[in-house]
Copies of this chain bind each other. A is one copy, B any other.
């Protein structure tokens, strides 16, 4: 390949980086040295070439070296506090375009600009999301890295804002390379085979939707699986039974969100789920005017653990007691911050949903029995109420609970 060809390839190829193609081979400076050079360069082409080198080299690193790189970004590409003060003084004294520009440049750590430059590469966004996934995994050991993580989060919030996301249906007509990611990312009720996947996508009474970002068009960010049902379902095994008969979508009165999975570890802390559920609910309602009720059928993943801490054992052979304990837990168990102890409850209640009903024998899988004695819960998305519920929850932590669940919970008095 000619020099020119190399140059053009570096600049313009759609897929970055090519496996095994001179990754990291073009420039033997260290990663920090290359990173620093990116910020120094004025040429767009040479800037992109350097950015390509940085991501290539990064991808070949062991964890220890990645950690070194993150530490470099945290410490050496941090703000210069004195410079911030000086520029701020100058701006206050003489607020004009020049002083504001100088202040703004100083107030932001240069690693933010580095991340933005890396994002200019084709496939750069995806590479950065994976880089942050590394950071989150490795920074458990290094709290000093949290400032870097906040910078990632700041930029990702801007790049993955709702206005840039695209909602797409996932169906049995979706390309296989996307479907295999649905299989891989499903984190609530695992999908064991392509046949199982088809059972969740192909029948007329099943739906699935995902958010995508245009710059990562093959990578779902989050997806939700929906069953159109007559009435509110009370068992995940029935809902997913191999031999069940599908109903006509026009005959359904209820949309049940039975699984919602975030796909990108590197996007932790960016909330898409709220938007996705509400938009899917709105779209379904427009398409199927017969739908009256929007609920989840959700796991209660920490029920057994929380009860155990209080020396209470679940007994799946006693459904009434299981329901009472589940109702009690969901309404009473709080974390140190006063929010619901259960993470799934926190998500849906935070979205403005209400606790609607609890069911025993609802998840008889090994995992369901172990974590919640088989109990599951319906959260209710009453579209006319969610916003109000959400605001009240955000302001006061108050949660909405149906009379039935509240009554069940109240039966747990004194020792259980």
Binding site for B on A (CB under 8 A): 3-4, 7-8, 11-12, 41-46, 48, 81, 84-85, 88, 91-92, 95-97, 100-101, 104, 107-108, 116, 119-125, 143-144, 146-147, 150-151, 154-155, 157-159, 161-164, 166, 172-177, 179-180, 194, 198, 202, 214-215, 271, 274-275, 278-279, 282-283, 285-286, 352, 383-384, 386-387, 390-391, 394-395
Q: List B contacts of A386 (CB < 8 A).
A: 45
- Shortest A161–chain B CB gap in Å is 5
Closest chain B residue, CB of each to CB of A16: B163
Max count, chain B CB within 10 A of own CB: residue among A4, A120, A164: A164
Bound-state CA distance A283–B95 (Å) is: 46
12 pairs, CB–CB < 8 Å, chain A vs chain B: A7-B383, A7-B387, A8-B383, A11-B282, A12-B278, A42-B390, A42-B391, A97-B146, A104-B150, A121-B163, A163-B215, A172-B177
Knowing A147-B100, A391-B43, say if A159 contacts B158 (CB, 8 Å): yes
A96 contacts B146, C-beta separation under 8 Å: yes
On whether the beta carbons of A107 and B84 are closer than 8 Å, the reply is yes
Most buried by B among A11, A123, A352: A11
A176, B202: Cα distance in complex, Å = 10
Partner of A161, one of B8, B120, B150, B275: B120
Q: How far is the CB of A313 from chain B (nearest CB, A)?
A: 38
Q: A162–B120 contact, CB under 8 A?
A: yes
Number of chain copies forming the complex: 4
Alpha-carbon distance between A390 and B175 when the two chains are bound, in angstroms: 39
On whether A158 and B155 interact (CB within 8 A), knowing A12-B279, A84-B84, A95-B147, the answer reads yes
> A84 CA to B43 CA in the complex, in Å?
33
State which of B107, B202, B285 has its C-beta within 8 Å of the C-beta of A107: B107
Contact partner of A163 (CB less than 8 A), chosen from B96, B120, B175, B198, is B120
The one of B3, B146, B352, B391 in contact with A384, judged by C-beta atoms closer than 8 angstroms, is B3
Q: Which residues of B contact A146 (CB under 8 A)?
A: 96-97, 100
A179 to B177, CA, bound (A): 11
Mostly helix, strand, loop or mixed at chain A's interface? helix
CB distance from A156 to the nearest CB of B (A): 11
Q: Do A100 and B150 touch (CB < 8 A)?
A: yes
Q: State whether A92 touches B100 (Cβ < 8 A).
A: no
Assembly CA distance A119 to B214 (angstroms) = 16
Q: Which residues of B contact A125 (CB under 8 A)?
A: 163-164
Whether A7 contacts B46 by the Cβ 8 Å rule is: no
A190 smallest CB distance to B (angstroms): 16
User: Could you tell me the distance between the alpha carbons of A198 and B179 in the complex, rounded to whole angstroms?
Assistant: 12
Whether the pair B158, A158 counts as a contact (CB closer than 8 A) is yes
Are B283 and A12 in contact, CB atoms less than 8 angstroms apart?
yes
B45 touches A101 (CB 8 A): no
Chain B residue nearest to A390 (CB atoms) is: B43
Cα of A85 to Cα of B91 in the assembled complex, Å: 13
Least CB distance, A70 to chain B, in whole angstroms: 14
For A3, A44, A176, A352, the residue with the greatest tally of chain B CB atoms inside 10 Å of its CB is: A176
- Nearest 10 pairs of A and B residues by beta carbon: A214-B214, A97-B146, A107-B107, A42-B394, A120-B162, A100-B147, A173-B175, A45-B387, A8-B282, A124-B163
Contact (Cβ within 8 A) A101 B384: no
Are B97 and A143 touching (Cβ within 8 A)?
Answer: yes
Given contacts A95-B144, A97-B146, 12 further A-B contacts (CB under 8 A): A7-B383, A7-B384, A8-B282, A43-B391, A81-B92, A84-B107, A104-B154, A119-B161, A120-B161, A120-B162, A172-B177, A174-B175
Whole-angstrom distance between the Cβ of A136 and the nearest chain B Cβ: 13
How many whole Å from A90's CB to the nearest CB in chain B? 11
